[in-house]
Structure 1
């Protein structure tokens, strides 16, 4: 099959595109042409590269034509963030493409009410921010499109994506490198909340695996949503303890109020922590396992450790003590 991947040079695409080439597909990557994949692989030599500014083409009403002009059997959209953009692509591809796969987000769900959170149902509140609201609107629109007999669509909702080349969400739910330095040094870590809040990571290659399996199992994936996360989730307390062990340390957690936490970090880091910890999410992947054969290879801590090792080895993260694992 000919598969067009929109945004294939990003976190997921870095692993998905080589997977699709190895599976024997003809692959085209549409990107802005401003970056390369996070992980190099020989399969990229066989990929056709198309440069397009999606935001500008969406504004001009041309992006759907760009994708359609490549005559794909399947389109994988990894970088769509608004209902308007998703709708325009659906209208262009309807009747012309066999399958559209969209990358959603677990932030289509708000605060957890029951754990684990399954697709649909009442296990989580409504989304909390514009990003989550738009991802939820897109997922619902795509599901309805397929239910109405239109374009066959599938939406995959990854957790907090982890992989070599970028910083993982840390035990405090943000990207502050000082958190890793404190953990590596065995210093007390100020923790807002109870320490029992949950975060659900996933390795980028496991997300890529899920997309590949949804393409292979089109009938089972048609019109469906799937949560795509690691087999287990991490609590703040457990995550910090596991991470400290990588540096030969024991985690020391210092409970603080949210006001105290905000006073001792930047607004950006505090907002990120609140966004992750206030949701306190943990998901089930039973639907993806049963329908698609999804079988994640990474536990969340394994994915984070791989990412940390890459960052340290490549001079992107400095820690006072080296990894001991």
Structure 2
């Protein structure tokens, strides 16, 4: 198939594009041309690169035509964040016979009510921010589009993406490098809340697997939405304990109130922690396993460890002790 990937030079595309080439597909990558994949792979030499500024072309009303004129069998949209942008692409592709696969987010769900949360959404409250609201609206629009006999669509909703090349969401639900320093050194780590709050990661290659499966199983994926995460989720306490053991340490956790935590860190780190831990999400992947054959290779801690090792080895994260695993 000819598969057009929009935004294929980022986290997901780093793993997805080479996967699709190895599977024998004709791959076209649309990007602004300002960045390259996080990891090099020989398969990129076989990928056609198309430079396009989506934001500008959306404003001009021509981005959909840019994609349509490439005559795709499948379009994988990794960088769509508003209902208006998604709707414009659907309208441009309608009637072409293409299959549109949209990258959503677990942020389409709000605080957890009943876990694991499945695609019905009954296990979670409404989305909490504009990003999540837009992702939820896009997913609903796509499902309705296919149900009404229009464009064949699928939406895939990843957890917290982890992999070599970027910082993982850490044990406190944020990107603060000082958290890793404290864990590696066995120093006290202030933990807001109960410590039982959960986060659900996914390795970027497992996520890429899901996009490939959706592309190659059109009938099973048509009109569906899928939560794509690791087989298990990590609690704050469990995550910290596991991470400390990587450095030959035991987690030294100090329970504090959220007010105390906010006073001990930056407003940005506190806000990101609250966003992850207040939701306290854990998701089901049974639908993706049953309909697509999704089989994640990484437990969440394995994915985080791979990411952490890459950061340390490449001088992107300094810790006082070496990993012992």
> Normalising by structure 1, what TM-score?
0.99
> In structure 1, what is the Cα distance between the partners aligned to 2:256 and 2:42?
49
Corresponding residue number in structure 2 for 1:151: 151
Where do residues 32-111 of structure 1 align in structure 2 (5 Å cutoff)? Answer: 32-111=32-111
Contact residue 227 and residue 285 of structure 2 kept, 8 A: yes
Contact residue 117 and residue 281 of structure 1 kept, 8 A: yes
SS in 1 for 2:38: coil
The answer on 1:321 being equivalent to 2:321 is: yes
Contact residue 75 and residue 97 of structure 1 kept, 8 A: no
SS in 1 for 2:157: strand
> In structure 2, what is the Cα distance between the partners aligned to 1:131 and 1:74?
25
> In structure 2, what is the Cα distance between the partners aligned to 1:110 and 1:12?
23
CA offsets per residue over residues 156-180 of structure 1, 9 Å max, x none? Answer: 0000000000000000000000000
Where do residues 225-304 of structure 1 align in structure 2 (5 Å cutoff)? Answer: 225-304=225-304
Contact residue 17 and residue 44 of structure 1 kept, 8 A: yes
1:98, CA displacement in angstroms?
2.2
1:97, CA displacement in angstroms?
3.7
Corresponding residue number in structure 1 for 2:193: 193
Runs of 4 or more off by more than 3 Å in structure 1? none
Where do residues 159-238 of structure 1 align in structure 2 (5 Å cutoff)? Answer: 159-238=159-238
> Gaps spanning 5+ residues in structure 1: where?
none
CA offsets per residue over residues 74-120 of structure 1, 9 Å max, x none? Answer: 10000000000000000000011420000000010000000100001
Corresponding residue number in structure 2 for 1:137: 137
> Normalising by structure 2, what TM-score?
0.99
CA RMSD of superposed structures (Å):
0.5
1:121, CA displacement in angstroms?
4.2
> In structure 1, what is the Cα distance between the partners aligned to 2:220 and 2:54?
30
> In structure 1, what is the Cα distance between the partners aligned to 2:47 and 2:161?
24
> In structure 2, what is the Cα distance between the partners aligned to 1:295 and 1:231?
9
> In structure 2, what is the Cα distance between the partners aligned to 1:169 and 1:97?
38
> Gaps spanning 5+ residues in structure 2: where?
none
